[in-house]
A and B are shown apart, each in its own frame.
Chain A
Amino acid sequence: MSASQEHMLWMYEKMIEIRLYEETMAKVYLEGKLPPAIQKGLAFDIGSGPVPGEMHLAAGQEPVAVGVCAHLRTEDTVVGAHRPHHFAIAKGVPLKAMTAEMFGKETGLGHGKGGHMHLFDPAHKFSCSGIVGASMPPACGAALAAKKRGKDWVAVAFFGEGAANQGAFHESLNLASLWHLPVVFVCEDNKYAISVEKTDSTSVSSDADRAAAYGMPGVRVGRNDALSVYEAAAAAVDRARRGQGPSLIEVKTDRYLGHFQGDAEAYRPKGEVEELRKHDPIPHLGEHLRKLGLLDDAMDQALRSRVESRVAEAYDYARTSPYPKPEDALHHVFH
């Protein structure tokens, strides 16, 4: 199915928003982590600055998030991984509360308790986890709930190619297929599980081939391109909505940054990222839209201004929001 004009423009704008969001985070994240760290005899101080802890950014992987989420409604469930921002933004999680969470603020999605790998937004049916492979079983559960209630809702589990070697992947595919659950399993193959290359971790070249073992369709999208992902996702989401069961989509995508910010990436061949960036999916879709006459300079400019103000507002909100009171740490162990 080819994308509607509305969907193509939405994907383009969302990809720009995700990229700007992640690039801004990459800068903000460095605040307080370098010069003060060097004074302390460190190369980098992960615990300093307004956004401490680990940070996994998704620049380059935008097509996976927008190509799939373009087909989703608010009532569809998305479960993401430890690199979750692109999925969250594409699913409609409010930027302000999401950013405030990463700043550890009271106004954050989880009142500062979760942080960047643990974003929960029940209103937009979005969650994620810092444990590799943990997105798939809960997505099966969401799909089971939809089926039991007679809804045509879909659940999507996003995970990396490293996670496809987890038991949770195989168990979830089997369960989803056995129970004909409306789940779409979406594997982001960015080639690296932290430092370990897919060729050193996975016995088959394509995880999509593994779908056959569980009696479900498996498709590999070989290009990091929103329209290609969109087409594959159209079939899988439609199949799930019509009660025909689960599917697996694997997308070859590109991680432009380290596994986490501060990763020295010594395991990566020199020049690899520069080469990948030549095939940036955002200008690629922009060109396509221009050729179709759906985008011109003025529209592009207007769209970028909109995105810039949304992202700037989110970061301002996060910065200026108050921290929770220390003793609030004791609340919410139970509801």
Chain B
Amino acid sequence: MSTARKLTMAAAISEAIGQAIERDPDVFVMGEDIGKYGGIFGATGGLFAKYGRDRIMDTPISETAFIGAAIGAAAEGMRPIVELMFVDFFGVCMDMIYNHLAKNTYMSGGNVRLPVVLMTAIGGGYNDAAQHSQCLYSTFAHMPGLKVVVPSNAYDAKGLMNQAIRDDNPVIYMFHKGIMGLPWMAYFEGSTTEVPEDNYTIPFGQAKVVRAGSDVTIVTLSQMVHKSLLAAQKLAQSGIDAEVLDLRTLVPLDRAAVLQSVRKTGRLLVADEDYLSFGMSAEISALVAENLDSVRLKAPVKRLAVPDVPIPYSRPLEQFVIPQVDAIVRACSDLIKAGKPEAVVA
């Protein structure tokens, strides 16, 4: 069943959605510019022409209404997939997301099911400034009631989207613009992968070792996986063997995989494109700290993330705040140095 067919992440997501529409009459898609345009980031490319406006519904710029409508339709047993263009825009309808979508199942004592997939674009690196460049996955992972999926490549993107559509809970599905394979943005080739035509799923909460190594663990996700792999190549040249762990989902979080890897390497770097404080990097670090009875660290944990500033527009400023490959290399090298006893000078 293996095929040599390679898809971009955008095409893989669109294929998963198209197949779901064909298999299940309760699945439909709503969002801004997802129809004729095919989604600003291509996640619904080609679907409008194939399935028409009853299944692929362009919405007004009325997020409270259409996210809320997804909640209402899902409560009736339908399975809406909704795109809200940039995660930065979620603020305009946050009430529907964090007071309703995330909480109604709980407040109903489990009696209300909300199988909604809410997909959105994250990430910077192309100078679109502070209102179009955030990641914010930690913000949504912080709120109970939302599953948070953040794929790094086309194969995972399709399998995770299939899983998201089948899940009976709200899933926020976040794709980084810089790995979608868009014709108007430089991207990481590694995100375009072989993608089977069948309807495979990838279970949530299973991190993946994308590069095995013995000296240091880099825990990361999304576009930062690709930067970490490039960093690992560079580190290998100086004899440092880095293991790269792609979390793939933040909620649920594969805690066991993180601990297993750090037990093996004894060193942890968390590489994150979200804000530093109170975020994913803190969560992973705390996880290791809470398990120091069974994890022997050879060096203190390190974190690389956006240093608690909004993403600036100007290129030198943006490049400075978003962690780059060289910063990952430096951080890992520092971890190795920190683990070695200082030379004693007589």
Contacts and interface: CB of A to CB of B under 8 A. Distances in A.
Given A113-B313, A196-B32, A323-B316, A53 B184 contact: no
B336 to A, nearest CB: 26
Given A40-B186, A53-B129, A193 B316 contact: no
B29 to A, nearest CB: 14
Contacts of A118: 129-131, 313
Contact of A112 (B64, B310, B314): B314
Interface string A112-150: 111101100000000001111100000000000000000
A42 interface: yes
B61 interface: yes
A165 B314 contact: no
A47 B127 contact: yes
Interface residues of A, number: 53
A84 to B, nearest CB: 13
B26 interface: no
B278 interface: no
A112 B313 contact: yes
B325 interface: no
A330 B307 contact: yes
Given A54-B128, A196-B33, A329 B62 contact: no
A330 B309 contact: yes
Contacts of B319: 326
Residue of B58, B60, B130, B185 with highest tally of chain A CB at under 10 A = B60
B115 to A, nearest CB: 25
B89 A114 contact: no
Contacts of B266: none
Interface string B302-321: 00000111101111111111
Given A46-B126, A104-B314, A329 B33 contact: no
B185 A130 contact: no
Contacts of B60: 162, 165, 193, 196, 201-202
Nearest to B315: A104
Contact of A333 (B37, B125, B309): B309
A42 B61 contact: no
A328 interface: yes
B323 to A, nearest CB: 13
Interface string B45-66: 0000000000000111111110
A115 B35 contact: no
Contacts of A115: 127-129, 313-314
A266 interface: yes
Interface in B232-265: none
Interface in B249-287: none
Contacts of A325: 316
Contacts of B339: none
B316 A324 contact: yes
Contacts of B100: none
Contact of B317 (A45, A112, A195): A112
Contacts of A201: 58-61
A326 B317 contact: yes
Contacts of A202: 60
A131 B92 contact: yes
Contact of A47 (B58, B64, B125): B125
Contacts of B317: 104, 112-113, 324, 326, 328-329
A105 B131 CA distance: 19
A54 B184 CA distance: 11
A262 B127 CA distance: 15
Contacts, number: 156
B300 interface: no
Contacts of B185: 42, 45-47
Contact of B36 (A132, A133, A195): A195
Interface string A25-62: 00000000000010010111111100011100000000
B109 interface: no
Interface string A308-335: 0000000000000001111111100100
B91 interface: yes
Contact of A42 (B91, B92, B184, B307): B184
B183 A44 contact: yes
B131 A113 contact: no
Contacts of B183: 42-44
Contacts of A129: 131
Contacts of A117: 129, 131-132
A258 to B, nearest CB: 11
B40 interface: yes
A131 B61 contact: no
28 contacts: A42-B184, A46-B185, A47-B185, A53-B128, A53-B313, A54-B128, A101-B313, A104-B313, A104-B314, A108-B314, A112-B312, A112-B314, A113-B312, A113-B314, A131-B88, A163-B61, A165-B62, A167-B62, A193-B32, A193-B33, A196-B33, A196-B58, A323-B315, A324-B314, A326-B317, A330-B309, A330-B321, A333-B308
The 3 lowest CB-CB distance pairs between A and B, nearest first, are A104-B314, A115-B313, A112-B314
Given A114-B313, A326-B320, 15 more contacts: A45-B184, A45-B185, A129-B131, A133-B61, A165-B61, A166-B63, A167-B62, A167-B64, A195-B58, A196-B32, A196-B33, A201-B59, A201-B60, A323-B315, A333-B308
